[in-house]
Structure formats: structure tokens, C-alpha cells
Structure 1
């Protein structure tokens, strides 16, 4: 049986998604949003600018600069911080809902032998306490009052609850709370987003390398597999090299759009971005190299500080 790897100090845990009067759902896309900001040409440009006007002049669009500058001010410098630290300091507040986390609760139990007048009095008091307390703390979420007869069989109870909730939400779709930044709901999958990141990292590490070699290193295809060190004139791999070049070219364009949308606070999205900045792979490679070295050093420090102390032998 494989042993479970211990959680490292820089890994998020479930508790990192909830604070008093603040919560967010757990979603793998938060980390990828952070990673795509690191490869965005517009975001790097914004970090190098001191004012929004300077960014507008360099981007050639005041509207584009306004969106990117807002993201830059909110998200900060993603090159000098680990994701967990960034999430705790900025991410949760930006992507989270600033209320107590909603929960299903019972307001009051109705007993069959209660006096009718006394029941109305106590139910009214319990309802007021709930509305003025927990309900308000949760940001007044769209809710429904339901009567659950406790003598029912659990399976039947659950089935009827599901049917009732489905009917209520179909008739009146719930009004959901809105965070400062919201993830886009679309068909972009984790595997494709990760392939985009791997390809851009490989191209940045070797800017002068042929595209198919970068694609081979990034392993963007399970069908077309080529040794990245293979000779260019190898006839056996000619078709695979051609297909990898085509696939890498498309994937690079997708990566650019995703990164440039992220710079404007929209993720994940491949919407065409006007005034998008092209990848400058040599410059990006140097920036990522410095960042990676710092990140490796920081993780080593955290690992050492978290390691159990061994008492010296006397």
C-alpha cells in the first residue's frame, strides 16, 4: 500500500477556505489563476509600471489598462510570494463571500402535544432569533422554510426534500452572493490549462528551441511522442514533429489569451483580448528563473522549520 505523502507547509488545507465571516468553495482553479498571472505579459508590464496612466500608454488602451491595473492592485506581486501565503493574504478575500458560511439549521421543533397558542408564540420567537442572528450573519441567503416530519423513513425524507428543493429552485432560481472576483463557468479543463502552463514554461526556458522540441518536453500530446533531443532530419518522427508544431502553436495562442484574460481578472477564459501583449520568452524565462529559485529556497526554509526537532545526544 502506498504511503500518503505528508502535507507540506506551503500546501492549502480545507481550513484555508474559511475564516470568521469569510468563506470560499475549494476549487483547483484558484491556483491556476495565480500561475497564469505569472506568465501574463500584460500583468508583468503592470507590475513594472508605477501608475495606471503609464500602463495605458504602454498597452495602447485606457480601458484595457484600467482592468489590468485593478487586478494588479488587488492581486499584488505574484512573483515574490508562495501561493498559500498569497491566498491567505489576498485570494480568499477577493474570491470569497464576506459573510458567515451558510448552513442548514433547525429553527424549532414542533411537538404534537403542544398548546396551539404556546406553539405560535415560541415558533415566532425562535424565527425572530434566527432572522436577526444566524440568518443575518450569513448575509441573508436565499432560503426556504421546510417542514420535516421526523417519523418518516430517512430515504423517503431525503427523496422528498430533493424533489421539493428542485421544484423551488426551478420556479425561483436562487440569488447567490457575489464575490469581488468570480471564476468563469466554461468547458476549459484542468488538463488543458496545465498543458498550456507547461508549454510556456518550456518555451521560456529555451526561447531559441524549435517549437516541436518544446512541445515534446511539455508532453502536450499522448499520441505524438518524440524525443526532444532527436535529430531534426529523422524521417521516422517527421509527421509527429509536424503535428507537435501545429498543436504547440495553437496551445501557445490559447495560453496567451488565458493569461491575458487573467490579467484583467477573468479566469479561465480564452476570449479574444484586444491589445493583448505577446509573449517575450527570453524576458519571461529570466523572470521565471529568478522566481523559481526564490520559491525553491523559501520552500526549503519552510520544510526545515517544520521538521521535527531532534534532541542532541548527551
Structure 2
């Protein structure tokens, strides 16, 4: 999930949208487009100066993300991210803004870069973090204020690199979405540099806060077999997931007495999102499983009487509608 949006220079102060952005609204909605842009400019500025309250003021108190995270979870996630990456900077390219009355949708490509803190086990030098994602923000206007009420992330990938391996070819293959409870394959392929031995892990965990990381054993990748592949089963709770691949590189050398040595030269971690899609319980044999028993306002109930259902199936009439409160 991206917590920073568009930099100030990515928006036009004019009523017309930049050529790189598609705009869908009525003429009357241009004023709202400008207000949404202004809110996103302020959000980006707060994100890049690490002003937590300045970021959160743009979220609705009833915010709930596409990953089922509450506003309290978002607060904790932002604090954890900034603690891990103190100099993280955000950027974004807006792809489309759609305005429908008091509702707005903003679709964007988001990126972030940061310095990863020194890990003495891996390297005496700091690492680098890069992330890229595509997602949507859903906003609602209350008075003159636009608030973020939800979001959805379509694609997300992050890499953290320690050591001189920025140019190493590494690919993590995963589906971008799977059905809840279904099995799927994840595979990491590495172009091992000459003179190095690579070892790798591949793990899966649901997207929750706080994050609970799963553990996996490192496996050696030989020059003949530079791939690691695992089969995972998506969770049944419809939580989105992340697949994490960690690849370490060791260099083979000799000491002063010409004995072989193995030195850890660096580690590269790739994290990719897998969105989990709920399965429908509807069946032709038992359509009552999906019958709606109340309207959106809760005032009308559908009688789930089996005789009524059979009558409707046989074409003898519709299902009865019974108001909750009959007039006296």
C-alpha cells in the first residue's frame, strides 16, 4: 500500500488535466478535480516530510483499506515504515481521476526509494530499497473536504539490496491474483554472478498488521539449477498475501594458506503482492445461499420461505417482500 501520493509538480494548477492523465467528470466537476488535486499535493508534501498527522488528516475516521486495514493499522504501518527507512521518498504518476458527484477515484503508479539501514551481518554499507505499485484511492467529499475512505492495490513489488548486486537479474514469478483456498506456484530465478554461490528462500504470508513473517530454510542454487520453486495454498480468509524471496550471494576465494574461503557478499530481497479473491458460495442446487434477506437500508426483508423460493423457480410469482415496520 502506498502512503504517499503525487508530488506537487505532477499536478497542473489549471482546470485541464496533464496530458499523461485521463480525466472523467462533468464540466461542473472541474472545481472538485482541483480540490482533489490540492488534497493530494498536501498529502504528498506531508508524506515526504514524514509528518504523520499531516498524512492522516486526509483519511476518513471510518477508513478501511482493500487489505482490511483500519486507520489505526495505517498509523502503525506508516510509523514502522518511516522507522525502517528514515529517508524514504515517494513519487507518483496519476493515470486517471474520475469524479461522480461527491465521490472520486484516483488511479496512479506509485514509487518509493530509500536507504536501507546497515545490517552488520550482511554488509558494512547501507542497502537500497525501491518499490513500485499501481493502485486506486477512493475519496468522498464532506462539505468542502475530500477524505480517503478506502483504497485498492492492483500490483506491488519492492526490492531491498545489500552489496554490489543491483545489476543482477532476479525474477520472482507469482500470479497477481488467486482464488481463496486455491494453490499457486511461486518461482524465483537468479542469474548467479561468476565466482559466486547463491542461496535462496521463498516464503508466503498474509497481509496483516502487525505483520507475521513466516520462516523458510535457505536452499543452495547451483550453476545448473538457478531456480527455486514452491507451491503455496492461498488462505481461506480472503486476506491478500505477499510472497518474499531472499537471495544471498557468497564469493569463493582463498586465504593466505591457499585454503578455500566463502564470504557473504550481499543479500537481495524481493517482495511481491498476491491479491486473494473470495470464492462465491452460490450454487444452482441451492440458490438460497445467495438470497439477499434485507435491502441496503435494512427496512425491507425478503422472506426466505422455501415455498416462496419454489414458487418463484416455478414461475408462479415473485418472492414476497415484507416491510420491517407495518404502518398502523
Per the normalisation by structure 1, the TM-score is 0.24
Of structures 1 and 2, the one with the larger relative CO (CA 8 A, separation 6+) is: 1
Q: Which has the higher helix share?
A: 1
Per the normalisation by structure 2, the TM-score is 0.23
Q: Which has the higher strand share?
A: 2
